[in-house]
Amino acid sequence: MRRTVFAFGLILLATCQMAWAWRPVFNPNNLRDTITVQIIKHCRPAIVSITAHRLIRQEVNPFGNMFPLPMGMGTVEQEPADFLGSGFIIQKDGYIVTNNHVVDQARSIHVKLANGEKLAATVVNSDPSADLAILKISKPGTYPTLQLGSSKGLMIGEPTIAVGNPFGYSQSVSSGIVSATGRTIHEPNNPHPLKNLIQTDAAINPGNSGGPLLDAYGRVIGINTAIRGNAQEIGFAIGIDRLKELIPTLMNPAVVDGHTVDVKFALCPGHQGIAGPHEHVVIAGTLAPRVIAVNGQRVNTLQGAYAALLAVGANQPQVSVKFSNGTTRQYAVKAVPPSPIVLKTRKLLGMVVKQLTPAMAGRMKLSVNSGLLITQIFRHSIADKAGLQPGDVIIQIGPYRVRNLDFLGKLLPAIAKAQRVEVLVLRNGRVGAGYLQIKAQ
């Protein structure tokens, strides 16, 4: 009987260790070494401060303060500005979670690690309606990560810890409790309300946005996102389960890298523990066994599986997935075809365009944040005869400011029926005009 009980204890211990790679332990010999202290010591290397560099439109009085002008009478100029936020690393390759509003319209992004090192980062993908974004540190390396918990079944009153970069004070820590769940708020400049939020009284201030809300096991249960400007000790966080739902989209190779892989991953909950279910990765929509490796990279999280897909080169024909039963399957890699708008533009005007992003504009040192970047011109085409060149940025067609491909798609039917259309482009820092001769005179 004793051997049986002892063996069961070993199995239970192994199960707990598999479910939690790390967990704090109460230390009766040192009351200063609290659970919160242990969690911060363990988690802070994976928490980053974010600086997003943007251009903002600002009204300037050319006469200074000597001759005040009414609102709207000054000249509008674009001025550089830095916006602060927080984030946390979820994958050892350097993938970071933050709020979309922290990095929206950023021309360049830098993250500061807990050790003070400053590194460049880029936006992998974002979802403005959910106010979530995935970044990637540009410097290759192996980075510390935070373990994702669950926002289901949170108990009102259970401890919370918020870590972030409020007002530029990096690695600031505050603690509190879960004050409420299921809250809905409306953020400025976001037409979609954020739903099912966690409310906490842990201090969350400007600059905390995108940082982690941790539970008593040091697991991320939320992404700090908003405060009420006229309130005290009321903060909100997006439940971490919302991020898990969006990882297959935010880290989709078809959107990020322009190639598709004929496989989709999902999380399947396993045994239930004190801190929630132990989840493992499976092939979405199938009864296949647990996924343990993708292209030779061992995976135990959903973000790890998708990071392995993003590491696949577009020229690689297949991706191998290994399962817990020892079997391996191959999945095809295919290039994503150009959008119908790009194909119609090529056929009608003889040029290939891509949507300009603020990050692209920052790298190219452009004075605009949006438009259509010309990547190819075909000889003797309408675009060629108009004098357009690769590297030009189309900013206006006819009387319309063109910011993205979707708006170009709406203009194409009218362009096709026109005889001649004026086009404005940005080239070498200067704006020039040309004419698209659609029909022969």
More confident site: 20 or 95: 95
Angle (nearest 5°) at CA 346 between 125 and 385:
125
Q: How confident is the model at residue 200, as a pLDDT? A: 96
Question: Minimal CA–CA distance to 101: which of 125, 133, 137?
Answer: 133
Mean pLDDT (whole number) for 137-158:
96
pLDDT on residue 114? 96
Residues 307 and 283 in one domain: yes
Residue 157 backbone phi and psi in degrees, to 5 = 105, -10
From the list 93, 131, 257, 392, the catalytic residue is 131
Domain C-terminal end among 314, 335, 356: 335
Task: Classify residue 353: in a domain, yes or no.
Answer: yes
What domain range is 305 assigned to? 251-335
pLDDT at residue 230 above 90? Answer: no
Out of 335, 358, 378, pick the residue that ends a domain.
Answer: 335
- Locate 151 and state its tokens: 């926002």
Distance separating alpha carbons of residues 431 and 337, to the nearest angstrom: 32
335, 356, 385 - which closes a domain = 335
Token couple for 342 = 């790009």
| Per-residue pLDDT at 343 | 96
Alpha-carbon span 276 to 244, nearest angstrom: 14
3-class secondary structure, 282: strand
Q: Is the pLDDT of residue 441 over 70?
A: no
> Which region among 14-28, 97-111, 145-159 has the lowest average model confidence (pLDDT)?
14-28
Q: In terms of domains, do 303 and 375 share one?
A: no
Please report, for the domain that includes residue 272, its CATH number.
2.30.42
pTM of the model: 0.86
pLDDT of residue 397: 95
pLDDT tens-digit readout, 255-290: 888 889 999 999 987 665 665 567 899 999 888 899
Cα dihedral 248→254→260→261 (10° resolution): -20
Tens-digit pLDDT profile for residues 35-72: 999 999 999 999 999 999 988 765 555 555 555 545 55
The yes-or-no verdict on residue 133 having pLDDT over 90 is yes
Give me the residues paired with residue 334 across strands.
260
Identify whether the C-beta of residue 34 lies closer than 8 Å to the C-beta of residue 45. no
Q: Residues 170, 172, 209, 370: which is the catalytic one?
A: 209
Question: Is 131 designated active site?
Answer: yes
Q: CA-to-CA distance for 42 and 40, rounded, in angstroms? A: 5
Single-letter amino acid, residue 253 = P
Rounded Cα distance, 381 and 25, in Å? 71
Looking at 101, 110, 259, 280, which residue is catalytic? 101
Look up the CATH number of the domain holding residue 426: 2.30.42.10
CA dist., res. 364 & res. 376, Å (int) = 17
Q: Domains in the chain: how many in total?
A: 2
